Structure 1
């Protein structure tokens, strides 16, 4: 792949709504990410070292990035069963930016109640509570990319 093809891919990726893109051939691998703190990397399969390049696109900085409540206390106090991710995708803790979060630490939930949404391949997948209980810990933050089997929420 020549530099013009890479630049063209970067422009198309930047104009798209995709958050991450990977492309692998026998010649090398390309990874694009619009997630904060991630950088475009090109790492040929041959003996050459990886090259770090400026981010394809930067996410507009927010005043504060949402973080799980009580991170220091949660490891020693939080109890209960964890709800794990059934798929790979992007986490949304709210139905839309102007709405309230589905759940917060300390909320009582009923079995089947939506805890959060995972977006995968442009499909919004609601993650329901597996049982009645109280949210003791939220283990992910908004717009974080999660893996299959990753812990999301703890319910007691």
Structure 2
């Protein structure tokens, strides 16, 4: 069975697993966020152990090194077992928002306007939803790092 049908995936696109400190901190935060979101939304408890948090290489013969041979598994498992008192570093949150999310929602705005002008209302709505999702993620990052909007 395709594990994508019953699991949640985090993509570390295009890396050998050697994450920057910002990427690592965002990854650590994201694991906890997903756990809390699933518990709040569906009442299902996801563990953050070696049994629950696994690499793509463990379920796909087509991805033998994913997420990369240098991925910090031991550090991640150790940090996931520590308390949740650690917030996302505000600099990391701002970097993610400014580098990835903000440019994406501006792109979505442009595409939404273009689709509306061309009368492609369904496409315009899809771009609006994508933009709103990017802004939601930015707000969640701000919240997780204690940044006041």
Q: So what's the TM-score if we normalise by structure 1?
A: 0.18
Q: TM-score scaled to structure 2, two decimals? A: 0.19
Compare the two structures and name the one with the higher strand fraction. Answer: 1
The structure with the larger Rg is 1
